[in-house]
Chain A
Amino acid sequence: RKEVEQDPGPFNVPEGATVAFNCTYSNSASQSFFWYRQDCRKEPKLLMSVYSSGNEDGRFTAQLNRASQYISLLIRDSKLSDSATYLCVVYNAGNMLTFGGGTRLMVKP
């Protein structure tokens, strides 16, 4: 089993739709969690951190469920510009990164 798993998609949604991605992690000692966005042929960029209490940034909401060991990303009112690959990142001991394989989102007009 991979340490961090994501549904690769693609998720094809119309503009204005709400879409959610999950990411599961296997190491119960994982310490920090993040969502990154990667555009085609570009390096990943930080989208948002994920806290136990959940956090929201505009149309984006991230949540952490430690008991079930998953994090989620919800995107409301999808825009064409949201089309990208979304990567979850887990920090383990010693600040070591582990990336999920990414979930591809395609927002259609």
Chain B
Amino acid sequence: SQTIHQWPATLVQPVGSPLSLECTVEGTSNPNLYWYRQAAGRGLQLLFYSIGIDQISSEVPQNLSASRPQDRQFILSSKKLLLSDSGFYLCAWNTNTEAFFGQGTRLTVV
């Protein structure tokens, strides 16, 4: 069966510290992978998407970067977090009939 793992579930980080969120997918190959961010009470903002290894597209200019070192691994990173990076981060992948989400990471930058 296909599953998606995202961790950690909750993270509290100081301003200026680095960030690494990891997402892995099982049970499929060459998936489209996505990172979204959701501010409180707001919709999903697409940050990055990837159609293959080392193929990353960025949707908005920001303090974050993404990498896909392996087919089913997608990593969201930052060298120095800002307060405005706080939010709910979701990793996702999709078939042609459904999108699947990780459990999300609630990041609070303090």
Contacts and interface: CB of A to CB of B under 8 A. Distances in A.
B32 A44 contact: no
Given A41-B88, A96-B49, A97-B34, A91 B96 contact: yes
Interface of B: 32, 34, 36, 41-44, 46, 49, 51, 88, 90, 92, 94-99, 101-104, 106
Contacts of B42: 101
A14 B97 CA distance: 33
Main secondary structure of the interface of B (DSSP, over half): strand
Interface of A: 6, 8, 32, 34, 36, 41-46, 49, 85, 87, 89, 91, 94-102, 104
Contact of A49 (B43, B97, B104): B97
A108 to B, nearest CB: 18
B32 A95 contact: yes
Given A44-B101, A87-B44, A102-B43, 17 more contacts: A8-B43, A34-B99, A41-B88, A43-B90, A43-B101, A44-B44, A46-B99, A49-B97, A89-B99, A94-B32, A96-B32, A97-B32, A97-B34, A97-B99, A99-B36, A101-B44, A102-B44
Nearest to B95: A95
9 contacts: A36-B99, A43-B102, A44-B99, A46-B98, A91-B94, A91-B96, A96-B49, A101-B42, A102-B44
A102 B51 CA distance: 25
A99 B102 contact: no
A91 to B, nearest CB: 7
